[in-house]
Structure 1
Amino acid sequence: MFKRTLIAASLTVAALASAQAMAVTGGGATLPAALYKGSADSILPANFSYAAIGSGGGKTAFLTNNPAGFSTTGTVHFAGSDSILNASELSTYKNTYNASYGPLIQLPSVATSVAIPYKKAGQTALNLTSAQLCEVFSGQKTTWGALLGTSDATTIRVVYRNVSSGTSEILTRHLNSVCPTQFATNSTFTSARIGGIALPSNWVGVANTSEVATAVNAVDGSIGYVGPDGVDATSNAVVARVNGVQPTALNVTLALSSVNPPANAIDAADPSKWSPVVANPTSGYKLAAYTNFIFGQCYKDAAVAADVKAFLTQHYSNPGNNTATQAHKFVAVPNAWKTAVTANFITNTSGNNLDINNASVCNAIGRPL
């Protein structure tokens, strides 16, 4: 009897310790998932969970505080998303939750490319224009010969994301800027294609970033789109150049060099200003963007607030998480952005009162315990 009681008590203590160890709950985008959690050099602290379910699912879980999307219970404390919060999402959240939860914060986490992996026998230096990307992903050109102006009758097999995906949003944002009659900007690939044309029967939809390269490599004639972690984006033998440009860190940096952090109090308080987009960069790699964090400003659990602030302090310091970021083939946000994030959301040296659990904003409100 004593032994059974001791075992039960031990299991209870273990369960409580496990619950306490995973105090900060989040999830979302699969593109940066290996950087965030599950790798030896992942950057999220040990007591942060991260459910890789896609950007759309991550945003929904956070915006509605519904942890079921992450297969857990309690409160959703943060999300990761390559899909930016749109005006409707921001307005709905403000009207529904600001009074009880406080404002939300959207921050650029790391810069990323969307690479175009391919497998085509005899082709080791694929170079596609933006117009050709439109032809491929719209299904306008169905064979490699038609696409490249050769006699090659191999059918083009597209591997696409079949969930709400920020990777799809980054791709279709660029396609919309080039061929707006064929593509809208949308995180759901099938919804972004204009015209209602059925997908070719040989196209393959996959849920996660990690599945894309595997599916492309499985069948000759395949092409897809994916984040840089998991493919060799520097090798033209496996990843296409776009308009002659390879998706290297330098070319991603060049593509995003035209955007700067908010410079005044009004812009700083607007979450949309912290996730700038460049749909068709004038230099660098065309399919480049920031993947983002979404946090609450206010948390009723002071320990969660402290953990969130400690993580942000580390991530936006110098060098911060730069080594891991580069190892996963992403690009750290520029120092000017790190300085602006720190001043506004961590130390409040900006004086804008946007920092985590600011006493004048978060008095008696916050995301639930």
Structure 2
Amino acid sequence: MNTLSLKTLVAAVAASLLAAGAASAQIVGGGATLPENLYNGKAAPFKSGIITSITGFDKYIGVGSGNGKKAFFGDNSDFFTVKNAAGDNVPVYNPKVRVHYAGSDSLVTSTELTNYNAHTTAGKAAFGPLVQIPVALTSVTVPFKGFSSLKLTGEQLNKIFTDPAITTWDQVITGGPAVPIKVVYRADGSGTTEIFLRHLKAVNPSNPNLSGVSSTFSSVVNVSNTSKYIAANGTADVITQLNANNYSIAYVSPEVVEFGNPAKVASIQNKNLSAPNDYVLPTINNVQNAVNAIHPPGTPLSSLNPVDPIHWGIGAQPTETALALPAAGYPITGVTNLLLSQCYADFDVEGGILDFLNKNYSATAAASANDAKIIANNLVPLPTNWQNAVHETFAKPSSSTLAIGNASVCAGHAGR
């Protein structure tokens, strides 16, 4: 049998196995890779995560925030893919199945919300209002290779990552080596990219080399200088490319680096803090401190509107600058979120989602049942006030009109 025939056979067998697995799928979702281990657990059969340990949830499929959003907003499970034995990306579900939720580190935009509300078959008319809820806090770390340690300001980060004229380290760091800078960036759509670029834009809103904030780095930064810029697809590939290139620098989520080690990740300046403590590492305390000044929608100290799903995205407008340039803590901080619809056609699906909400969000001043698992995965639990607000708003169908499965709201919708 020739190589091509063998690959074809392997692909066919893999596809049939994937299809068989799809038959047992129940609550289906995927997206951002940052929380993948948190949601699944780190070992086969991947049923020990904070999502998959709940009855009814299928394995969370990590494909990036961009593809997770596409799957959710289009109700199209074809965006949930896996590499088969031949190395090809093939859909996990064949035939297609309903998409019940998505994970995203990229916040819902006003355009996405408008399109969802207008969609007749895969939006509000069919599935009820959109729900965006924060799950855990995260930093975007800046790992490097070639230095014993590295302290950088926001201005220096801008020059390194966005300015095509900055090509050697001595151009940006006083006394730095006159060697080429190698910037590793995410080529795929990534919420990590969005969080990172939001900080750079807030540091210098008029930066001519950064046209905006996007989940796709190359859409707002000129990466045509391939001797400086190295494309990577996914978190693992970022680390691979970083390790393969001396005097390189990257941005990546914290689960794959020693985020508290100044010999591995850069300390980033927070101008609001007093020297010499203004350069901070992405530790748990520093990440939590960055969010403390932002209060949940519907609470006494907040002007945010609980009916607007965009306002549940910590760091979205109108609180964008509050997180992109926080008054305290680590300055490149973001949130990993879940996207849901308020109405579900299957009672078991609705029940599974409510079970997750009750376990992940504390209704009291005590920590939620999942806080320890979040910390074990190098992420940071939400502050208690945010946990309480999410629980009170979305986990009580009989008392909150915004809750998942509220009967009066969902009576006119078919549900996901």
TM over 0.5: yes
Cα distance in 2 for residues equivalent to 1:279 and 1:251: 14
1:365 shift after superposition? 2.1
Instruction: Give the length in aligned residue pairs.
Output: 350
Cα deviations by residue, 1:265-318 (Å, 9 ceiling, x for unpaired): 981111011112111112111100111111111111111111111111111133
Instruction: Kindly indicate whether the alpha-carbon contact (under 8 Å) linking 2:38 and 2:50 is maintained by their aligned counterparts in 1.
Output: yes
Answering whether residue 373 of structure 2 is matched by residue 291 of structure 1, we say: no
SS of equivalent residue, structure 1 residue 360:
helix
Residue matched to 1:365 = 413
SS of equivalent residue, structure 1 residue 361:
helix
Residue matched to 1:178 = 203
Cα distance in 2 for residues equivalent to 1:266 and 1:176: 23
How large is the Cα RMSD of the aligned pairs? 2.1
Cα deviations by residue, 1:123-151 (Å, 9 ceiling, x for unpaired): 22200010000011013421122221226
What is the letter of the counterpart of residue 305 of structure 2? D
- The gaps in structure 1 that reach 5 residues or longer are 1-13
Instruction: Report which structure shows greater RCO (CA 8 Å, sep ≥6).
Output: 1
1:49-60 equivalences under 5 Å are 49-60=59-70
Residue matched to 2:379 = 330
Cα deviations by residue, 1:42-77 (Å, 9 ceiling, x for unpaired): 222253322211111111110111111012221110
Answering whether residue 52 of structure 2 is matched by residue 42 of structure 1, we say: no
Cα distance in 2 for residues equivalent to 1:283 and 1:329: 20
Cα distance in 2 for residues equivalent to 1:251 and 1:363: 44
Instruction: Kindly indicate whether the alpha-carbon contact (under 8 Å) linking 1:164 and 1:187 is maintained by their aligned counterparts in 2.
Output: yes
1:101 shift after superposition? 1.2
1:188 shift after superposition? 0.6
- The gaps in structure 2 that reach 5 residues or longer are 1-16, 81-90, 270-278, 316-322
Answering whether residue 249 of structure 2 is matched by residue 223 of structure 1, we say: yes
Moved more, 35-44 or 254-263: 35-44
Aligned CA distance change for structure 1 residues 275 and 325 (closer, same or farther; 3 Å): same
| 1:155 aligned residue (160, 180, 193) | 180
1:256 shift after superposition? 1.0
Answering whether residue 134 of structure 2 is matched by residue 111 of structure 1, we say: no
Instruction: Kindly indicate whether the alpha-carbon contact (under 8 Å) linking 1:59 and 1:79 is maintained by their aligned counterparts in 2.
Output: yes
Answering whether residue 245 of structure 2 is matched by residue 241 of structure 1, we say: no
Runs of 4+ in structure 1 displaced over 4 angstroms? 14-21
Aligned CA distance change for structure 1 residues 128 and 266 (closer, same or farther; 3 Å): closer
Instruction: Kindly indicate whether the alpha-carbon contact (under 8 Å) linking 1:78 and 1:293 is maintained by their aligned counterparts in 2.
Output: yes
Cα distance in 2 for residues equivalent to 1:95 and 1:151: 53
Instruction: Kindly indicate whether the alpha-carbon contact (under 8 Å) linking 2:304 and 2:311 is maintained by their aligned counterparts in 1.
Output: no
Instruction: Kindly indicate whether the alpha-carbon contact (under 8 Å) linking 1:31 and 1:226 is maintained by their aligned counterparts in 2.
Output: no
Cα distance in 2 for residues equivalent to 1:144 and 1:360: 61
Cα distance in 2 for residues equivalent to 1:270 and 1:202: 41
Aligned CA distance change for structure 1 residues 249 and 301 (closer, same or farther; 3 Å): same
Answering whether residue 358 of structure 2 is matched by residue 309 of structure 1, we say: no
Aligned CA distance change for structure 1 residues 146 and 361 (closer, same or farther; 3 Å): same
1:319 shift after superposition? 2.6
Cα distance in 2 for residues equivalent to 1:251 and 1:109: 18
What is the letter of the counterpart of residue 357 of structure 1? G
Instruction: Kindly indicate whether the alpha-carbon contact (under 8 Å) linking 1:112 and 1:291 is maintained by their aligned counterparts in 2.
Output: yes
Answering whether residue 269 of structure 2 is matched by residue 269 of structure 1, we say: no
| 1:135 aligned residue (142, 145, 159) | 159
Residue matched to 2:5 = none
Cα distance in 1 for residues equivalent to 2:251 and 2:137: 16
